[in-house]
Amino acid sequence: MATASIKQETGSGLKGAREWVQLMTAALDAAPNTIVITDVKGSIEWVNPSFTKDTGYTFEEAIGQNPRMLKSGEQADAYYAEMWKTISSGKPWHGEFVNRRKNGELYTEDVNVAPVRDSEGVVRHFIAIKYDITGRRRAERELKLFRTLVDASEDSFEVVDPETGLFLDISEGHCARLGYTRAEMKALHVWDIDPTVKESGWPGIVEGLRQSGTMVVEGRHRCRDGSEFPIEFHAKLVLLDRAYIVGVARDITERKRLEEQLFRAQRLESLGMLAAGIAHDLNNVLSPIAMSVPLLRMSALPAEDQRVLDTMENCTKRGAGLVRQILNFVHGIGGEPSIVHVDHLMRDIVGVLRETLPKSIRISQEFQPGLWPILANPTHVHQVLLNLCVNARDAMPGGGTLHLRAENCVLDEGSVRALIATQPGISVATGAWIVLHVEDTGSGIEPSILSRIWEPFFSTKTAEKGTGLGLSTVRTIVRTCGGFCTLQTELGRGTAFRIYLPAAEASKIGSTHPFAQTAPRGNGELILLVDDERDIVDTATTILTHGGYNVVSATNGAEACAIFESRRNEIAVVFTDQDMPELDGHSVVRFIRRLSPGFRILMTSGLSSESHASPAGHVAAPFLSKPYTSIELLNQIHRLLHGREAPT
């Protein structure tokens, strides 16, 4: 109807036809899309100005050319052949071309090609109407790429309707994590998967978001199977055609686990500080006893009294060993290795276990005769075995058998290959080894957690029953000794741990005790003894006096400095405690070294020497740990006086 109306306005006859053609040409020239007219062979007969704008070719350059002048090579020849086959049969064709402009740029066109027939129905021309969709395709690619990144992210990207609380969209990865499809998620409300959000409280949440614009909260997401995990949700209110809540939900399970580990570590640190203080005081209490026993042995005592002294000496050594173990745990100190006879150590442990484990657990032991010694810290080996035995106890709540065994073992290349094949990740070499077995008849270990049992803080026990440090400590100590661990376990049948420790070299056996059991006597040298514990001062004074020395004492650092300043030409050695009121041991040492550089000084403390190291990592003077025996003290003094510093 509109065309007929235009024809009527332009009139009839030749003049009207010309006006009509001019009008149509003007319309085609004004069209924003590209129009190309070709003959049946594809030769261009006419193009509109949009063609020049899109391609860069002028009207004159295009006339007589084939549209293949725009061909970019991005599409196969078969694609063009199919198009020509379609339009040559008189059918229209629709598709896309990636063409090349005159300046070499690529662009994408949406193309419709239609055949034009004459009055007899013969195809005489083709008209192509093309739209430049380069920008649209680029935007679609970018949107697809962004969507791919969003779906692949471990975070959840969510779009929520603030009015209804329904999910309008959610990233694919998080849908999979929750166990739903995206379509299923779009039928759920926020409170359907977050139990911390109540439907009745949703309007208040939205109102708070409208006022602040953004919000960061912690919540939980519930999966289809009922399991939950903690999340941190960052939300923002976005206004487009309407209001949307756009947010990112991040799984913070790992962060919560690390926070819990940090809290545990802080608790352990606090306990460590308390334990260190108690250990210091215990060493001060044990020192007079350790020094007094040798003095009492000098008296003629009946056999039963000598046995009492033996008991006192053994208990003091045991107490000192426990204190060292506490300090080693608190400060992470490796301690000096020594020759350890594992059969003696394991028999001691069996004695402790029989006194402490439930009577429902039967303890058996089997030690191969002639066991080789090992070079290790005995306290650490003790800790390894006790940790494994405690785990065995926990695996047998209803009772069972705990079997401890030790044997010599020589690993050849075949044995090494077999061990590595069955226990991947271990480091093992050929040679002589001692194997310690800790076997139980308990519940066994779940296969699903076998790969994690050595991790620090991993535990299947409740927080009140374990820290998750037991097996991690075991492996760390064993590796420090140059050994490795293996295990075999079966659900309902029990677990067997095997600790492989390298046997000590023959050259090192017999050279582990630096002091003789009798100390050389002094020649009346004056010793300045400084300690704030009066019992230690009195006992040490007696020992040094019996050892042939003269003693002058002080009970604090200030008094010690005053005595040294007035009698430094008489004093041969200063023996000072570290922790004292008014002036500590390091202050005393600095004062003495200013007056007499290189003066002979021996320090002591109820804590380890490493606890008092300077920033450079060295103590200010040779060190003797409390509790010390009279033999150790006299040997240290003798070494200082005769030109060799006592070992730290």
| Domain limit, last residue, from 185, 220, 251 | 251
pTM of the model: 0.41
What Rg value do the Cα atoms of the chain yield, rounded? 45
Residue 366 sits in a domain whose CATH number is: 3.30.565.10
Residues 75 and 192 in one domain: no
Take residue 279 and report the two structure tokens written for it: 């250990």
Three-state SS string over 570-617 comes to CEEEEEEECCCCCCCHHHHHHHHHHHCCCCCEEEEECCCHHHHCCCCC
CA distance 554 to 561: 9
What is residue 613's predicted lDDT score, i.e. its pLDDT? 46
Residues spanned by the domain of 372: 335-508
Residue 618 lies in a domain: yes
- As a whole number of angstroms, the distance between CA 107 and CA 138 comes to 10
Which pLDDT value is given to residue 616? 41
Q: Do 361 and 482 share a domain, yes or no? A: yes
Q: Which two tokens stand for residue 596?
A: 């007499």
463 and 592 housed in the same domain: no
Asked if residue 87 is part of any domain, the answer here is: yes
Q: How far is CA 221 from the centre of its chain?
A: 24
pLDDT at position 348 is 80
Asked, for residue 21, whether it belongs to a domain, the answer is no
Of 251, 285, 312, the domain-final residue: 251
- In this prediction, residue 391 carries a pLDDT of 87
Residues 359 and 496 in one domain: yes
Note whether 94 and 163 are same-domain residues.
Answer: no
Q: Burial letters for 475-484: b for 16+ Cβ neighbours within 10 Å, e otherwise? A: bbbbeebebb
Q: How far is CA 512 from CA 183, 372, 414, 502, 623, in A?
A: 74, 15, 34, 17, 18
Entry field: residues in the chain: 648
Does residue 520 lie within any of the structural domains?
no
Given 251, 270, 296, which residue is the final one in a domain?
251
The answer to the question of residue 538 being in a domain is: yes
> In angstroms, what CA-CA distances link 244 with 183, 514, 544?
19, 78, 86
- Degrees (nearest 5) of the Cα angle 97, 101, 106? 55
**C-alpha to C-alpha distance for 463 and 264, rounded to whole angstroms:** 9
- Residue 268: the pLDDT is 64
Q: What angle do CA 547, 322, 500 make, to 5 degrees?
A: 115
Q: Give the span between the Cα atoms of 592 and 563, in whole angstroms.
A: 11
Domain shared by 91 and 162, yes or no: no
Asked if residue 484 and residue 352 are part of one domain, the reply reads yes
pLDDT tens per residue, range 39-81: 999 899 999 998 999 899 999 999 999 998 999 988 898 999 9
Q: Which residue has the tokens 């002639």?
A: 370
Q: Are both 85 and 232 inside the same structural domain?
A: no
In 368-492, beta strands by DSSP E: 374-376, 400-411, 431-440, 484-490
Same domain membership, residue 547 and residue 454 = no
Residue 4 domain flag = no
Q: Tell me which residue of 538, 536, 580 sits closest to 558, measured CA to CA.
A: 580
For residue 501, the tally of other CB atoms under 10 A from its CB is 25
Is 360 inside any structural domain? Answer: yes
Q: Based on the number of CB atoms within 10 Å of its own CB, is 492 exposed (0-12), middle (13-18) or buried (19 or more)?
A: exposed
For residue 416, how many other CB atoms are within 10 A of its CB? 15
Q: Is residue 590 part of a domain?
A: yes
End-to-end C-alpha distance for the chain, whole angstroms:
112
- Please list the ranges in the chain whose pLDDT falls under 50: 1-10, 333, 463-464, 507-516, 609-619, 645-648
Contact assessment for residue 342 and residue 483, using Cβ atoms and an 8 Å cutoff: no
Q: Is the dihedral of CA 373, 379, 384, 390 positive or negative?
A: positive
**Can you say whether the dihedral through the CA atoms of 422, 423, 424, 427 is positive or negative?**
negative
Instruction: Clarify whether residues 160 and 201 are in a common domain.
Output: yes
Query: Residue 622: which CATH number?
Result: 3.40.50.2300
Residue whose pair of structure tokens reads 């075995």 in the numeric block? 385
All residues at 6 or more sequence positions from 406 whose CB lies less than 8 Å from its CB, including other chains: 342, 343, 346, 366, 367, 368, 371, 434, 435, 436, 437
Q: CB–CB of 113/93 below 8 Å?
A: yes
Residue 405's closest CA among 324, 505, 533, 499? 499
Helix ranges restricted to H, 298-445: 303-331, 342-356, 378-394, 413-422
23, 6 in Cβ contact below 8 A? yes
The pLDDT value recorded for residue 500 is 92
pLDDT by residue (tens digit) across 70-118?
A: 999 888 989 999 999 999 899 999 999 999 999 999 999 999 999 999 8
Please tell me what DSSP assigns to residue 366.
Answer: E
The structure tokens 């657990």 sit at 361
Q: Give the count of domains, the chain.
A: 4
**369 with 497, same domain?**
yes
Please state, in angstroms and as integers, the Cα–Cα distance from residue 544 to each residue in 172, 355, 398, 547, following that order: 80, 40, 56, 5
pLDDT for 570: 92
The answer to whether 233 and 241 have CB atoms below 8 angstroms apart is: no
Q: Within 10 A of 73 (CB to CB), how many other CB atoms are there?
A: 9
Note the pLDDT of residue 612: 47
Look at residue 363 in the predicted model and tell me its pLDDT. Answer: 92
pLDDT at 450: 76
> Can you tell me the distance from the alpha carbon of 124 to that of 118, in angstroms, rounded to the nearest whole number?
6
The per-residue pLDDT of the chain, averaged, comes to 81
**By C-alpha distance, which of 22, 67, 21 is closest to 47?**
67
| CATH code at position 100 | 3.30.450.20
What is the sign, positive or negative, of the torsion defined by CA atoms of 617, 620, 624, 627?
negative
Report helix, strand or coil for 640. helix
Q: Please tell me whether residue 542 adopts helix, strand or coil conformation.
A: helix
The confidence score (pLDDT) of residue 516 equals 39
- Tell me which residue of 437, 436, 429, 438 sits closest to 482, measured CA to CA: 429
Separation of alpha carbons 44 and 545, rounded Å: 123
**200/194 Cα distance (integer angstroms):** 13
| 200 plus 152 within the same structural domain | yes
